[in-house]
Amino acid sequence: MSHDLLQMHLKAVISCLVIVLYKVHTTKAGQFFSSGHTNNWAVLVCTSRFWFNYRHVANTLSVYRSVKRLGIPDSHIVLMLADDMACNYRNPKPATVFSHKNMELNVYGDDVEVDYRGYEVTVENFLRVLTGRLPPSTPRSKRLLSDDRSNILIYLTGHGGNGFLKFQDSEEISNMELADAFEQMWQKRRYNELLFIIDTCQGASMYERFYSPNLMALASSQVGEDSLSHQPDLGIGVHLMDKYTFYLLEFLEEVHPASQANMNDLFKVCPQSQCVSTPGHRTDLFQRDPGSVLITDFFGSVRKVEITKDTINLTSPVEPPIKRSGSSDIQIESLTYVDQLPVAEIIHQKPKQKDWHPPDGFILGLWTLILLVFFQTYGIKHLKHIF
């Protein structure tokens, strides 16, 4: 009896607290600064080559599509596809990548920008993108320009095993390398929070070795289990998607930019009854409670908007003085186009004057050897007979 009373009291106190907290959260500033990040980035990697790995490209493109739909712009997405499926000669419908049989959803779309494609998707390039150690001539679209207030979503898919992920059928990345790369990112303050999703066989082994703070990881299967593909399509002839990402895409299609769905819902995606493998997750390195982390914190994009009520006066435009190209007193001669095939000129073309280079090591060595042998056999005293 007293126990029930105590419980009732407890419930009342808790509900009061909830109301108070709710009121605090409704203030805009509080809501804005509670998550701690100001921009969002996504690194989406498909590591498999060859036509029968169509489903891995479809996986990556479905996450790309969701992430773009929820607001992350192309300039903040680094998309790496190891092979081209859409314009592959085996694709019966070119420029399309379908995620559902009967060709319902074309995840490739009409507006896609792939940053690393084909042979560029290597372990080295992936690690360089993460750590930021790229050659100076790399264009901006291929860089991960995150700062310490960035939330990054990293999605990997392909063929993997216990502790490794295979890149393009020729090299592998191990879970230790990945953990070290994340530690480098942490030390260089390249992320605020990081969500790592992997859809491969034995995917949970890839996040076992993480040791940097603010990392949350999800995998499609535990160690010792295989991730399975979803459906084959008889028209295209290959499996279109993997089970985990298929249900993830279904889940993400329900999410909209203002959605309040949180990470606990994401952990429930694709239970064993649907996926056959057991999806796993790891949250011990993450500071916040997963229930308070919104899906849009990682999959969507934060736009910083400052509303001001002050007016700004724009100055009137200054008319630039009309600048004539070239002065009028200089003799202007008419310019001409170049002759495309000047046969006479080509025939009488002098060979290019090559710069004289000093003889390289091999020639010098050869001549030294010859001279040495000569003087050894004949002796230096014979020198005067030669010259």
Partner 1 sequence: DSDPVGFDSLDLNERRGRSTDAELDRRDGTRTSEALTPAAAARDEFQEELVIRPLHSGDIYASFQFRTLWDTDFLQEGQKVSHYRLFPKSLGQVLSKFSVRELHISFTQGFWRTMQWGQPFIPSPPGAELWVWFHDTVSDVDGNWKELTNVLSGIFCASLNFIDLTNTVQPSASFKPLGLGNATDHRFLRYATLPREIVCTENLTPWKKLLPCGSKAGLAVLLKSEKLFHSSFHSQAVHIRPVCQDEQCTSKAWELRQTLNVVFDLYTAGQGKKEWSLFKMFSRTLTEACPLATSSKVYVDITDNPELFELSPATPLLSQAVVLGDRRTYSVYDLSRAETFGQLRSLNLLLRWKGDGEMLRPLLHAERYVAGFGLQTGEIHTVIYNNHPYRAFPVLLMDSVPWYLQLYIHTLTVTSKSRDNKPSYIHYQPAKDRHRPHLLEMLIQLPPHSMTEVTVQFERALLKWTEYTPDPNHGFYVGSSVVSALVPSMVAMNTNFTQDQPLFSSFVPVKEESSYFVRVYTEPLLVNLPTPDFSMPYNVICLTCTVVAVGYGSFYNLLTRTFQVDEPSLPLAKRLANLIRRIRGVPLLT
Q: Which residues contact partner 1 (rule: CB under 8 A)? A: 39, 49-50, 73-76, 84, 86-87, 93-96, 106, 108-115, 117-120, 135, 137-142, 168-170, 303, 317-318, 320-323, 325-326, 332-343, 346-347, 349, 351-352
Q: Which of 189, 197, 192 lies closest to 38, judged by CA?
A: 192
37 classed as catalytic: no
Is the Cβ of residue 167 or residue 207 nearer to partner 1 in the bound state?
A: 167
Q: Which is nearer to partner 1, 21 or 87 (CB)?
A: 87
CB of 61 to partner 1, least distance (A): 11
Which residue's CB is nearer to partner 1, number 135 or number 361? 135
User: Which amino acid makes up residue 169?
Assistant: D
| 73 in Cβ contact with 149 (< 8 Å) | no
Nearer to partner 1, 71 or 290 (CB): 71
The pair of three-digit structure tokens given for residue 373, joined into one six-digit string: 């042998």
**Long-range residue pairs from 224-232, CB within 8 A, at least 24 positions apart, any chain:** 224/162, 225/201, 225/277, 225/278, 226/201, 226/202, 226/277, 227/199, 227/200, 227/201, 227/203, 227/275, 227/277, 228/275, 228/276, 228/277, 229/55, 230/55, 231/100, 231/101, 232/101
Task: For residue 28, give every residue at least 6 positions away whose Cβ sits within 8 Å of its Cβ, in sequence order, or none.
Answer: none
Q: What gap in Å lies between CA 385 and CA 346, rounded to an integer?
A: 51
Greatest Cα pair distance in the chain? 129
Smallest separation (angstroms) from partner 1 to the CB of 12: 46
Q: Which of 46, 201, 270, 275 is catalytic?
A: 201
Nearer to partner 1, 322 or 380 (CB): 322
Give the C-alpha separation, 250 to 328, whole Å.
69
DSSP 102-127: TT--BSS-S----SEEGGG--HHHHH
Nearer to partner 1 (CB atom), residue 108 or residue 207:
108
Q: Tell how strand 164-167 and strand 280-282 pair up.
A: unpaired
Whether 201 is a known active-site residue: answer yes
- CA–CA dist 60, 113 (Å, integer): 13
Q: How far is the CB of 158 from partner 1 (least distance, A)?
A: 13
Say which residue the tokens 């500033």 belong to: 29
Identity of the residue, 50 or 186, whose beta carbon is nearer to partner 1 in the bound complex: 50
Smallest distance, Å, CB 309 to partner 1?
23
Minimum separation from the CB atom of position 321 to partner 1 (A): 7
How many angstroms separate the CA atoms of 74 and 60, rounded?
14
Distance CA 82, CA 252 (A): 24
Minimum distance between the CB of residue 256 and partner 1, rounded to whole angstroms? 19
Q: For residues 169 and 226, which CB has a smaller minimum distance to partner 1 in the complex?
A: 169
What's the rounded Cα separation, in Å, for the pair 66 and 354?
Answer: 57
Minimal distance, residue 26 CB to partner 1, in Å: 27
Shortest Cβ distance from residue 338 to partner 1 (Å)?
5
- In sequence order, the β-bridge partners of residue 157 are 46, 199
Q: Compute the distance between CA of residue 46 and CA of residue 320 in angstroms, rounded to an integer.
A: 52
Q: What are phi and psi of 156, to 5 degrees?
A: -120, 145
For the annotated catalytic residues, the residue numbers are 159, 201
